[in-house]
Chain A
């Protein structure tokens, strides 16, 4: 499969969404080597939480590819069907980041947004690379 599974756990839904975004960045490079220099705002609206996860990740892919940036830190807020987020990152430095693959988009494969018995959240989907 020309793709990778991405998963995020969190004690809150928003934390799980942030972790999933980090997971997606880890597909490309080590998120720890991405400097939080520039902030980008992202908004999406989608009543279905699973589709919202895919929309969130796809919004990040769009910002990455059009700004030629990588993001290493995320702050997500979800209220009803509205997601507002800030993503921090820097322009791609091929020498330092050594990006391995390019994420084409998030898909509906293995798509799940699940609340766990302990109240925490697990979110996941497959991204096409």
Chain B
């Protein structure tokens, strides 16, 4: 990106002055090096989002921002329904509520090392992953709607996990105001065989070791210590979410003119929050959030079964579950009043700071865990939401490294088998049904997540707490 087009506010905050049809400025949080590396489309998309009706304060981009559908991935924007604010299907994405959850295990690296091959094979065997895989459970129409209304809470009621899991999930595991009736039969049909499946592409389940602690106090509150073994799961709302994204994107494109909306980019398809289409999308999207939460809850249950078999003394307790493709209603002061704003986080993670009432008591003092997935070969990070984050992008942070190379380029550069071998020499076991899929996910195809996380920390979005490195990675 041409840095001369931006006004530096600080070393980690850059402003795009409103011009053209922009109603608010653009604000990008990143180091200068990351900015220079960002694709030009990010600039264009940040500006386009700033043109949407009812946008409040600014069109934000996170340090890992890259080209997305209408909104940049790593884009955050809040809308005020009282000012004709819109909700955008492109601003949430195709994988609604894709997210990450991290579990403790109570195991030591030695214990895992001794059984690493068995563990890798057992996880790969037991957890359905990849194209053509099917879930262990199939929901009938009534159960499907219950799941869409109840999310992880529904899953726990069905025996997947325990009640204690719920307070460690956004929305306490159940997104309110979900409308299963707004979810099409096609979307439900697509989900029928996919409950409790991992998906493919950049989705994964990892067994990880904590290799660095940056903040002892917060780490202790989170229950994280050096050399701890953790498990992280990254996946979303599967076929249901994708179908909802597809269908509503089309409806919004087709109906936009009738709402008087001229879209700077067709992909910014949106609808007024206060319109039947806007409300329908919000209802369906919330159902998809519940689907993702239920899905991660079921996968957690399957994971616990594997560990119980190999390590009977292991205790897989949930640290936290974050989502990064959502539109949530959050209260913020605006012109002296508390207002409900509709906050799109597209490839961005909510990062509530210390004291936020939405956090469980056990975490409220230190802030919300922010789980940042890295690549198979590098590292993941755990951060914590900050107090000052409220003033930056509505308490949001990055979500991951972002690709720096297309999938095709990656398959031309690497062979899946050599990626696997190289990682194996470093003690990392990969299990995947596809060698090409592994090549596409090669660590070199991604940007440096450490730099992204460092920028998030220095920009005040979220504070670094711990670094984790993979031991076993299961991908679809």
Q: Which residues of A does B touch, CB under 8 Å?
A: 1-2, 4, 28, 51, 54-55, 58, 61-62, 65-66, 68, 92, 94, 97-102, 104-109, 111, 128-129
Contact = CB atoms under 8 A, between A and B. Distances in A.
Contacts of A102: 130-131, 199-201, 476
A36 B82 CA distance: 55
Interface in B431-472: 433-437, 440
Interface string B120-162: 0000000000111110000000000000000000000000000
A105 B94 contact: yes
A61 B254 CA distance: 21
B135 to A, nearest CB: 12
B95 interface: yes
Interface stretch (B237-245, B278-286, B287-295, B332-340): B237-245
B131 A111 contact: no
B436 A108 contact: no
Given A54-B250, A58-B246, A68 B190 contact: no
A65 B403 contact: no
Contacts of A104: 94-95, 242, 245
A66 B254 CA distance: 26
Contact of B243 (A4, A105, A129): A105
A4 B201 CA distance: 12
Interface in B408-447: 408, 433-437, 440
A2 B202 contact: yes
Instruction: Give 5 closest A-B pairs by Cβ, nearest first.
Output: A99-B131, A92-B132, A104-B242, A100-B436, A105-B246
B267 A108 contact: yes
B266 A28 contact: no
A114 B161 CA distance: 52
Contacts of A61: 242, 246
B66 interface: yes
A52 to B, nearest CB: 11
A99 B190 contact: no
B52 interface: no
A4 B408 contact: yes
Contact of A128 (B189, B239, B242): B242
B199 A128 contact: no
B28 to A, nearest CB: 18
A1 B403 CA distance: 6
Contact of A94 (B67, B130, B245, B408): B130
Nearest to A58: B246
B302 interface: no
B189 A66 contact: yes
Contact of B130 (A62, A99, A105): A99
B189 A51 contact: no
Nearest to B436: A100
A48 B253 CA distance: 12
Contacts of B200: 99-102, 129
Contacts of A54: 250
Interface centre among A55, A61, A105, A106 (most CB of B within 10 A): A105
12 contacts: A51-B250, A66-B189, A66-B190, A94-B133, A98-B435, A99-B434, A101-B440, A102-B131, A102-B199, A102-B200, A107-B94, A108-B69
B252 to A, nearest CB: 11
Nearest to A105: B246
A91 B190 CA distance: 16
B249 interface: yes
B281 to A, nearest CB: 15
B242 A92 contact: no
B406 interface: yes
B288 to A, nearest CB: 12
B253 A107 contact: no
B104 to A, nearest CB: 29
A99 B433 contact: yes
B186 interface: yes
Contacts of B243: 62, 105
B201 A68 contact: no
A66 B200 CA distance: 16
A95 B243 CA distance: 27
Given A66-B189, A101-B201, A4 B406 contact: yes
B243 to A, nearest CB: 7
A90 to B, nearest CB: 12
A62 B94 contact: no
A2 B434 CA distance: 17
A98 B433 contact: yes
Given A2-B202, A62-B190, 7 more contacts: A1-B66, A68-B193, A92-B132, A94-B130, A101-B434, A105-B243, A128-B242
A30 to B, nearest CB: 10
A65 B433 contact: no
Contact of B437 (A62, A100, A105, A111): A100
Contacts of B66: 1
Contacts of A101: 131, 200-201, 407, 434, 437, 440
Interface string B178-203: 00000000100110110000011110
A2 B69 CA distance: 11
